[in-house]
Amino acid sequence: MNILVIAPHPDDEVLGCGGVMARHVAAGDKVHVLVVTTGHADHFSAEEVGIVKNECRQAHALLGVAKTIHLDFPAPLLDTLPGCRLASAVREVIRQIRPTMIYFPFEDDLHSDHRAVFLATMVASRPLDDSAVAVLLNYETRSETDWAPPKNGSVFIPQKYVDIEAHLDIKLEAMQCYRSQLKEYPHPRSLHGLKALAEFRGSTVRMKAAEAFSVIRELAF
């Protein structure tokens, strides 16, 4: 299968589904990653942007990603762009990759870039024409999904659990590649925090480690 993982920022893909990415690669699937943004000059220096892109290359090489695509929209400013422009760019990548499955961020994440990417992906992956997309899954991003306001309808509710016991170590190694983004425990975006979430999600379904997803759409033929 062709798999597409859509990340608002470099590292979201590892945080949300690094274990599943490694599992897909081990099964012979081709995993592609779309990184939507790059740091805007008002918020990040050219050196910082270069460091993160290099970290991204290292992480993806470790995970066995077949192709990484950068759209280079400005972060954290996606809410200043026309939604149709973002959706069209995502749609073009989907048209090129023709993925069977897409992993993308949760609708109500705290970061507005995540919410913009969610909506753009929903528009871009509509089941029209000859779309190959059969499965749409939302991943949870530590310090974005878990910090969202606890209001009705905005809480991440897992519906699909994937066993990543055999791939948890490589997920943590890939996150270590993002040295500039990694935090110290008890920050949720720490190695300990990632491992704790995987063990918690796994323990709820009698697995030692799992990644959990919200099912947006799943077509059965």
CB 4 within 8 A of CB 66: no
Q: What is the pLDDT of residue 198?
A: 98
Strand partners, 32: 4, 67
Q: How many C-beta neighbours within 10 Å does residue 109 have? A: 27
What's the number of domains the chain is made of?
Answer: 1
**Helix, coil or strand: residue 142:** coil
Residues of the chain predicted below pLDDT 50: none
Q: Give the mean pLDDT of the chain.
A: 96
Q: What is the pLDDT of residue 210?
A: 98
Give the burial string for 172-209 (b: 16+ CB within 10 Å, else e).
bbbbebbeebbeeeeebbbbebbbebbeebbeeeebeb
Let me know how long the chain is.
221
Cis peptide before 188 (omega within 30 of 0): no
CATH of the domain at 103: 3.40.50.10320
SS3 5: strand
Q: What is residue 152's predicted lDDT score, i.e. its pLDDT?
A: 73
The pTM is what? 0.97
Tally the C-alpha atoms within 13 A of residue 202's C-alpha that lie toward its C-beta.
Answer: 17
pLDDT number for residue 4? 98
What are the C-alpha distances in Å from 124 to residues 37, 73, 91, 104, 111?
17, 16, 4, 12, 20
For residue 168 the two structure tokens come to: 């948890």
Which domain, by its residues, includes 38? 2-218
pLDDT in tens, 112-136: 999 999 999 999 999 987 889 999 9
Question: How many whole angstroms separate alpha carbon 73 and alpha carbon 81?
Answer: 9
Asked if 139 and 105 touch (Cβ cutoff 8 Å), the reply is yes
Looking at residue 203, what is its pLDDT?
Answer: 98
